[in-house]
Structure 1
Amino acid sequence: MITSHERHEYDTLPDPGIGYPANHFAFQHILNVLAEEGANSVLEVGIGSGNAIPLLAGAGLDVAGLEIDDDMVKASRERMSDLGLDPEAVVWGDVSDAASYVTLRPRAPFDALIALGVLPHVHQERASLRNMRALVRPGGVVFVECRNSLFSLVTFNRFTYEFLMDEVFADTAGSVREGLDAFLRERLAHDMPPAGEGHRPRFHNPLSVAPLFADAGFVDIAIHPFHYHPAPPSLEKQDPDAFRQGSLAMENEPSDWRGLLLCSAFLVQARRPHQFNDL
């Protein structure tokens, strides 16, 4: 049965005025898996203003939330109340510090955990992942969004320059490195977008991220790319409508490799082992 919230999302997918609905495709995958798993409860880490609450609750899930921003906690609690759900199921806390969300523990463990837009910004990555694992039951599943560093290879801008210089050709030195630097600067928009000051979000490589999750105690680790781009992002302004339609047409494309390059984000789906001794 399609809920009114889901119907609204489908109806507005082609609308360029609402921004690209990348999370629609992330949640599409998540809800399909949760239905297959027979999940009953879910915790959204970084629940924000609660935009996903109607979608998750409409799927018959008991929803709880963890959020580090006070205003967002208030907004999500109001949304929970509007839907007739327990607003106290949304709590303030930092996922990297288990002591900060002790009020959530009586509701744990959850069947599933969702963390979109969280891992790129946490200060303690390993602690955050281990805490996510501890918040789900043995056998429970997590869905964690990562920003895709490989996408830099098709943006032809500063991110491409930095990825090639710092990652791909990290061991190139001396005059060869100087020549490489000049070569790339001539061919890439190496100063676009301008580098901001302060915190820079963390990127992950989908080809090498699995050990990070394995080290945090997860198994059955799988990668699911989303938010496709039919061309380098700088071309979007030439025809935003066509660019959006091209992106929508590529979501869920069947190849095993193009999404690793053309998607700016990916989900890591992983499971807490059925038997695991927390350290």
Structure 2
Amino acid sequence: MADVSAHYDGSAPTYHEQYDPEKIWTNADYPANFYRLRKVIDRLRDAGAQSVYEFGAGEATPMIRVHEALGIAVAANDISPEMVRLGRENLQRHGLDPALLSLLDVQDEAAINAEVALRGEFDAVMALGVIPHVEDDAAFVSAMSRFLRPGGTLLLQFRNAMFSMFTFNRLTKEFILDEVMAPIPQKFRDAVAADLDSRLAVDKPPIRTWDKDAPAYDEILARFHNPFELADVVRAQGFGDISFHWYNFHPTYPMIGGQFDPREYREAQIALEADTSWRGMFLCSAGFIEARKSA
């Protein structure tokens, strides 16, 4: 995960801005993670959690906000040395022990073993923006489970593959051919591929780049997940009571969003964040699974 670590090292100095309520209207990018964190706090509150362990805490803003909102015990890890350095400073500024944030690779079994021995079990465990970067979903959920007491709550964020059914671009084509039509003979898939090229904006979205001396997000492993398949992975690791929560709503498919006044468009996005219906599965580019560990 060296490229992943380098990416987050590069984004660490400004990472906190996505959680800043003062920047909701001024940041160029939609503050999806601001609204995600609100929903996470609500789910932890409703679950009655008194402690939470976070995978991929970044520079610690989410764990600090959770602690401040709920008054619960927190601990976490991250793979990025720069995120951990800034996170420990952030924890100290907020009166929390910097040692609550560990530097480790979640795919390193020995590191996970040592962290479990150090931290013990929690009422809840969460991973926001981590599973897109790991190669073995089952092993990752299993690692999360090791920090969780029986009956505890798991919150697992994912990039939503189903959103591609609303984007009408290259991602739509890839999802139809690689997922929906996976068992269908190649000659039919080839015909559909050719037809989709004439119907979809297959040149979009562009690959995102940036001007930092580190790989951009689209240049690292950053997988989408089918929510139904990911729920099966979670279930197989001994979890039940599985539900989906959606965020980062799009009132139109993204490629025509530029036709609208930016503030009006953002207002529509924010208003949709209150929607808890099935529509989120198609209007949202991300979501998170909530599940209970079997007793």
Which band: TM-score by shorter chain?
0.7 to 0.9
Structure 2 gaps of 5+ residues are 1-15, 209-217
- Contact 2:137 2:233 (8 Å CA) reproduced: no
Distance of 2:43 and 2:156 partners within structure 1: 14
1:18-37 equivalent positions in 2, closer than 5 A: 19-37=29-47
Change (3 A) 1:88 1:18: farther
Question: 76, 79, 83: which one pairs with 2:87?
Answer: 76
> Which residue of the partner structure matches residue 237 of structure 1?
258
Aligned-pair identity (%): 38
Q: Is 1:56 matched up with 2:66?
A: yes
> Which residue of the partner structure matches residue 97 of structure 2?
86
The one-letter code matched in structure 2 to 1:136 is L
Deviations 1:16-38 (A, max 9, x none): 42632212332222222222332
Q: Is 1:143 matched up with 2:152?
A: no
The one-letter code matched in structure 2 to 1:237 is G
TM-score by length of 1: 0.87
SS at match of 2:248: strand
1:1-279 equivalent positions in 2, closer than 5 A: 12-13=23-24, 15-17=25-27, 19-59=29-69, 60-101=71-112, 102-103=114-115, 105-194=117-206, 199-239=220-260, 240-255=262-277, 257-274=278-295
Change (3 A) 1:205 1:262: same
Shift of 1:118: 0.3
Mean Cα displacement is larger for which, 94-103 or 83-92? Answer: 94-103
Distance of 2:122 and 2:206 partners within structure 1: 41
Distance of 1:211 and 1:254 partners within structure 2: 21
- Contact 2:245 2:287 (8 Å CA) reproduced: yes
SS at match of 1:123: coil
Change (3 A) 1:42 1:254: closer
The one-letter code matched in structure 2 to 1:229 is H
Change (3 A) 1:200 1:87: closer
Shift of 1:82: 0.6
The one-letter code matched in structure 1 to 2:266 is R
> Which residue of the partner structure matches residue 277 of structure 1?
none
- Contact 2:20 2:34 (8 Å CA) reproduced: yes
Distance of 2:164 and 2:40 partners within structure 1: 25
Change (3 A) 1:86 1:207: same
Distance of 1:128 and 1:180 partners within structure 2: 35
SS at match of 1:29: helix
* Structure with greater helix percent: 2
Distance of 1:46 and 1:97 partners within structure 2: 14
The one-letter code matched in structure 1 to 2:97 is D
- How many residue pairs match? The answer is 266
- Contact 1:96 1:125 (8 Å CA) reproduced: no
CA RMSD in angstroms, aligned pairs only: 2.2
The one-letter code matched in structure 2 to 1:207 is F
TM-score by length of 2: 0.83
Shift of 1:155: 0.7
